[in-house]
Amino acid sequence: MPSLEKLDPKALDPERTVVVATGNAHKLEEIQAILGPVLPSMRFVALGQLGDFPEPDENGDTFLANAIIKAEAAVAETGFAAIADDSGLAVDALDGAPGVHSARYCGHHGDDAANNEKLLANLANVSDAERTARFVSVVVLIGRSGLVLSGTGTCEGAVGREGRGEHGFGYDPLFLPEDTPGRTMAELLPDEKNAISHRFHALENLIPQLEGWTTA
């Protein structure tokens, strides 16, 4: 994963800065690629570039609730407007699991390999036809005054039987989007993924609300 350049918060214009509540360079790039053309005067920076902040307790029972928790924490910690998303994989044969627990499905946070291994184990006896699933994303943008905007998106597909591809992160190597038959999400180039991803659709859902938006 590419490293994130550290930035001095005092050197940033609060009226032209949006903090992406992540330390994940891939997620920053994805959000910047999609929202940058819509908000060309704004600079998107990752929360992890501004310092080491404690992770908020994502104790919500929905993607929306967790996204709000993360965005509110980023606003409180930095004083800048913030955008956060909560996303995950919902597998029909597992009654929607891992869902909001996607990042910690294996029992601890952020271990992609262990999460994928557990998912494959739980689907070992499930036929290809019943491995339908979708990525779900809810994106929340909160201004410094507390104004909350949100967008929701999905990417339909199925869970494969082995990981393939070098791009992306999380469950991308296992997920076979309907829009790219035979190719996993991790086999797509960034521009290809951005055109179909759940986060793209959530940001697309958010974009109409951004006309005239400011960081205030």
Residue pLDDT, tens place only, 157-201: 999 999 999 988 899 999 999 999 999 999 999 889 888 999 999
Torsion sign across C-alpha atoms 75, 78, 81, 83: negative
Question: 189, exposed or middle or buried, with CB in 10 Å at 0-12, 13-18, 19+?
Answer: exposed
- Which amino acids are annotated catalytic? 86
Residue pLDDT, tens place only, 122-137: 999 999 999 999 999 9
Which domains, from first to last, does the chain contain? 9-210 (3.90.950.10)
Question: What pLDDT, on the 0 to 100 scale, is given for residue 43?
Answer: 95
pLDDT over 60 at 54, yes or no: yes
Residue pLDDT, tens place only, 201-213: 999 999 999 988 8
- pTM > 0.75: yes or no: yes
CB atoms within 10 A of CB 37: 9
φ/ψ of residue 175, rounded to 5 = -90, 130
Name residues whose C-beta falls within 8 Å of residue 154's C-beta, 6 or more positions apart in sequence: 134, 135, 136, 137, 198, 201
Q: How far apart are CA 191 and CA 195, in angstroms?
A: 6
The residue among 189, 90, 206 whose CA lies nearest residue 148 is: 206
Order of all β-strands in the sheet with 43-46:
43-46, 17-20, 81-91, 132-142, 148-159, 175-177
* Band of residue 69 on the pLDDT scale cut at 50, 70, 90: very high
DSSP 98: B
Q: How far apart are CA 150 and CA 52, in angstroms?
A: 26
Torsion sign across C-alpha atoms 58, 210, 24, 4: negative
Alpha helices for the chain (secondary structure H): 25-35, 63-78, 112-122, 190-194, 198-206
